[in-house]
Homo-oligomer: A and B are copies of this chain.
Amino acid sequence: MAKKTINVALFGSGFMGKAHSNAWLNVGKFFNTKFKPVMHTCASVVDAKDFAANWGWRNVTKDWKAVAADPEIDAVDICTPNNTHAPIALAALESGKHVACEKPLAATLDQAREMAKLAKRRTKQVTQVWFSYRGCPALGLARKFVEQGKIGQIYHVRAQYLQDWGGPSTPLLWRFKSKDAGSGAHGDLNAHIIDSCRFITGQEITEVTGSIAETFIKERAIPEEELGNIKGGKIGKKKKYGKSTVDDAVTFIGRLSDGGTASFESSRLSMGNKNANRIEINGEKGSLRWDFEDMNWLWYYNAQDDSQRAGWQKIMCTDAGSHPFVGHWWPDAHILGYEHGFVNLASVFLDRIAGKKKVEVPAADFNDAYQCQRVLEAALLSAKNRCPIKLSEVK
């Protein structure tokens, strides 16, 4: 008997389009999901013929509305610019499709709220947001340890997402323009660690007590290829500078629903930290520590070990029998990488569409992403108004 298939449409063909295409191409090879994805259509405003051919998308189009309404399509996957997430997702939900969407959920909190509300009503459709680190076995194991009571009451969460590509010599890319990118490190990086905190602890962030957002590099060189488009711009030896209108770094502290303290910090100016997505959790019975730069390892401290032996334990999260997702890949101790997170979460999406109750780890849905966006908003408000912001004030 042939497997059931579902037709997937991809919106977008950039870096994330590549990561998602890889996920759809490979998920069926490694995971024995009930539904097998068919790479049906790639919708992109740019010419995506070569991209689609390379990855095996059977069709390619610029008409996203037609795709969102196409009855042949079962599920859409959105990795277009942030301000287009809402119209695509809303249209696709309305036309009965399952929707997977890149983070952040939307360009504005209003949009995010609307998307979460609609998702809530469409009870038979699955929504998912690509907080891809949930697909890392180590992070899934961290969540399991909390669920199993290994950590106990959580006193502290300490999360950072530090990169270093945004130094003074980096030109004024679209990522430094507020109208294109929404925010800087905050939406790009803090979004991830807020989600990790919620995912692992199962708690909400209930208050941002203090926050600092800073743009250290106020002006950046306009890329040469853009100078022609700018009034007075000329391609020449002399550089022209333009304003950076996003944050380089945002740091804030706050509270968890069970009373613990939490700190979050993101930066693109943290030299030497390439992709340092780090989280440490301290609880009454134990602690956990993870850094994406060593993504296959989870550090665990059991405060109940006898004092002779007690110490941080470095767990290689590649045990096929014990660690999330791993059994689908290689034998024990064969290291996974960045893109496996996407493939793993694609399998969860397919499992949920198939109505499977027990998935490897819960992927983020639209509501999770909306909660995350509320925290981002609260942090910005706190930084701007120079006061604590309760999450209950941010709808």
Residue in chain B with minimal CB distance to A28: B54
Which residues of A (303-339) have their CB < 8 Å from a CB of B? 303, 306-316, 318-319, 321-323, 329-339
Determine whether the beta carbon of B156 is less than 8 Å from that of A269. Answer: yes
Is the C-beta of A340 less than 8 angstroms from some C-beta in chain B?
A: yes
Determine whether the beta carbon of B212 is less than 8 Å from that of A261. Answer: yes
Which of A83-91, A196-204, A289-297 has 4 or more CB atoms under 8 Å from chain B? A289-297
Residue in chain B with minimal CB distance to A216: B155
Distance in angstroms from A345 CB to nearest chain B CB is 16
Determine whether the beta carbon of A272 is less than 8 Å from that of B303. Answer: yes
What is the bound-complex CA distance between A265 and B211, given in angstroms? Answer: 15
Determine whether the beta carbon of B255 is less than 8 Å from that of A212. Answer: yes
The chain A residues found within 8 Å of chain B, CB to CB, are 15, 19, 21-22, 25-26, 28-29, 54-55, 141, 144, 153, 155-156, 158, 160, 162-165, 167-168, 209-212, 214, 216, 248-249, 251-255, 259, 261, 263, 265, 267, 269-275, 282-287, 292-296, 300-303, 306-316, 318-319, 321-323, 329-340, 382, 386-388
A-B complex: 5 closest residue pairs judged by Cβ atoms = A210-B210, A272-B301, A274-B333, A337-B337, A275-B333
Contact of A265 among B263, B287, B337 (CB under 8 A): B263
Contacts A253-B252, A333-B163, A335-B338; A309 near B300 (Cβ below 8 A): yes
What is the bound-complex CA distance between A168 and B284, given in angstroms? Answer: 8
Determine whether the beta carbon of A273 is less than 8 Å from that of B249. Answer: no
Find chain B residues with CB under 8 A from A308 CB. Answer: 141, 144, 319, 322-323
Interface centre among A162, A267, A295, A335 (most CB of B within 10 A): A335
Distance in angstroms from A88 CB to nearest chain B CB is 24
Contacts A275-B333, A316-B293; A270 near B287 (Cβ below 8 A): yes
Q: A267-B282, A273-B282, A308-B322 are in contact. List 5 more A-B contacts (CB 8 A).
A: A167-B284, A214-B259, A216-B259, A275-B332, A275-B334
What is the bound-complex CA distance between A382 and B388, given in angstroms? Answer: 11
Find chain B residues with CB under 8 A from A330 CB. Answer: 15, 19, 338-339
Q: How many copies does the complex hold?
A: 4
Contacts A272-B287, A287-B272, A315-B311; A252 near B333 (Cβ below 8 A): no
Distance in angstroms from A282 CB to nearest chain B CB is 4
What is the bound-complex CA distance between A338 and B339, given in angstroms? Answer: 12
* 24 pairs, A vs B, C-beta closer than 8 Å: A15-B331, A22-B26, A22-B29, A28-B54, A155-B270, A158-B160, A164-B282, A165-B332, A209-B210, A210-B211, A210-B252, A212-B255, A253-B263, A270-B282, A271-B282, A271-B301, A273-B287, A274-B333, A294-B294, A307-B322, A310-B319, A311-B313, A337-B337, A386-B387
Distance in angstroms from A247 CB to nearest chain B CB is 11
